[in-house]
Structure 1
Amino acid sequence: MEWSDEGIILGLRRHGEGNAIVELMTAAHGRHLGLVRGGGSRRQAAALQPGNGVQATWRARLDEHLGTFALEVTTPRAGRLMGAAHSAFALSHIGSLIRMLPERDPHPELHDVLTAMVEHLDEPRLTGMMMARFELMMLSELGFGLDLESCAATGGRNDLLYVSPKSGRAVSRDAGEPWRAQLLNLPYFLIGEVAEPPSPGDVDAAFDLTGHFLARRVFEPRGIPMPESRAALLLALRRTAAQ
């Protein structure tokens, strides 16, 4: 068995004396692991860092085997991204979310979004917006997408300001006003394009929204807590915004 694909490194761990198991998000083969011989060496480990884009060739005798990777770094980003707390935690959180997907299950649109996103994770004013949108997309990829197209009460598509914490459906201003204390806020940048990065308050509201459904629909049913990297990312973003 053999294939070649482009991918983004999500993580790696040492394996044996000098090898490493590398985890990629690939364009056509989804989240995929493979053994890199010599990947635990100081020379190779420096290149096999989260965020780097690679051209990967995977080989195995049988499809169900771990297999081996031959990797060529095509887009070195790790040095730039790991240098700031917010982008380092964002990479860690991205990996924790993608690991909720079945291994080797193709998600080409997710790979394309991730490829575009990691180019800008070192820009703190964009990172919060991109990561909140990414969490919203992950809910959809995991089968728990929110219905933010129209108001749950009226069917209208205008003035959508809230989301029901139970149904995950959008609610308009007028329909939601009597129950606004029980509803989650829906920042506009989650449903439309914006000319400027959103305010820190809108970013916090977006993370409150996505975090509610990630916890309720993804992590709690699996009996696992929300990733620590998420809390660390939010703290880093707030510290950066306060500077």
Structure 2
Amino acid sequence: MEWEAPGIVLDGRPYGEGDLIVAVFTAQQGVHRGLARGGASRNRIALWQVGNLVSLRWVGRLPEQLGSLTGEMIQATAASAMRDAMTLGLMRAACAVAVGALPEREVYPVSFSALLSLLARISAEVATAGDLARFEMSLLADLGYGLDLSSCALTGETMDLSLVSPRTGRAVTEAAAGIWRSRMLPLPAFLREPDQTGDTAQWRDALRLTGHFLERDAFGHHHRPLPEARRHLYQMVEQLAG
């Protein structure tokens, strides 16, 4: 059994002397792990850095086996991200969320395209924490946990939506929230408007929103917390937002 495809490196862990067990994400194979022989060596370690886009080849005797991974660099996203702490944090958080939330060997082409777009913005050094929140919104929807931000859950209004129910994931207007206002999660306007970019405070609120549903649904169903890289990124944005 074997396959070849371009893929994103999501994780790499040492195995034995000089090898790595690498998790990659492709449009055709989903999240897939394999043994990269010599992957921790001086000549190959740069290839298997988290966030890189790599031309992959996986070979195994049986489909269910770990198999072996080899690859050639397409885009060294990791090298671009290392110039800035926030950009590096965005890349690591996105890949950690993807590898932790997506079931292995199941196909999620929408999430793959969304992550690829985010990494392209990271490579171009134009990515923001708002872009990460949008990626997480897309991933939640792809997993079947999508938020409904189209209208107010209580009144049906489509204007002045500023809150989200932490229980249902549906939008609510400020006026309709009433005494439950303090229990709601803020809904930054840029998440509903593709042409808006938001500011640091809105990015913080957006990451708090997506983080709540990722932790409760995507990770909670597997009895795992949000990845440390994602928590660290939120703390960075929260500090910037004051």
Name the TM-score, length of structure 2 as normaliser. 0.89
- Counterpart in the other structure of 2:64: 64
> CA offsets per residue over residues 23-73 of structure 1, 9 Å max, x none?
111111111111122212111012221111111111111111111122011
- Counterpart in the other structure of 2:169: 168
- Counterpart in the other structure of 1:191: 192
Deviation at 1:227, TM superposition (A): 2.0
The whole-number CA distance in structure 1 between the counterparts of 2:222 and 2:9 is 25
- Counterpart in the other structure of 2:219: 219
Gaps of 5+ in 2: none
The whole-number CA distance in structure 2 between the counterparts of 1:233 and 1:219 is 17
Gaps of 5+ in 1: none
Letter in 1 for 2:104: E
Cα 1:4–1:207, aligned 2, differ >3 Å: closer, same or farther? Answer: same
Alignment: residue pair count: 241
- Counterpart in the other structure of 1:3: 3
Matches within 5 A, 1:1-243: 1-98=1-98, 99-121=100-122, 126-177=127-178, 179-195=180-196, 197-238=197-238
> CA offsets per residue over residues 69-101 of structure 1, 9 Å max, x none?
220111112111123222222222223212221
The whole-number CA distance in structure 2 between the counterparts of 1:26 and 1:161 is 36
Q: Contact 2:58–2:69 at 8 Å: present in 1 too?
A: yes
Moved more, 151-160 or 47-56: 151-160
User: Partner of 1:224: helix, strand, or coil?
Assistant: coil
Aligned-residue CA RMSD (Å): 2.2
Deviation at 1:177, TM superposition (A): 4.8
Q: Contact 2:80–2:122 at 8 Å: present in 1 too?
A: no
Deviation at 1:7, TM superposition (A): 0.5
Deviation at 1:128, TM superposition (A): 0.8
Name the TM-score, length of structure 1 as normaliser. 0.89
Deviation at 1:123, TM superposition (A): 7.3
Letter in 2 for 1:148: L
User: Partner of 1:11: helix, strand, or coil?
Assistant: strand
Q: Contact 2:3–2:59 at 8 Å: present in 1 too?
A: yes
Deviation at 1:19, TM superposition (A): 2.2
Cα 1:18–1:227, aligned 2, differ >3 Å: closer, same or farther? Answer: closer
User: Partner of 1:43: helix, strand, or coil?
Assistant: coil
Deviation at 1:239, TM superposition (A): 5.4
Letter in 1 for 2:166: P
The percentage of aligned residue pairs carrying the same residue is 39
Deviation at 1:237, TM superposition (A): 3.3
Cα 1:123–1:2, aligned 2, differ >3 Å: closer, same or farther? Answer: closer
Q: Contact 2:4–2:56 at 8 Å: present in 1 too?
A: yes
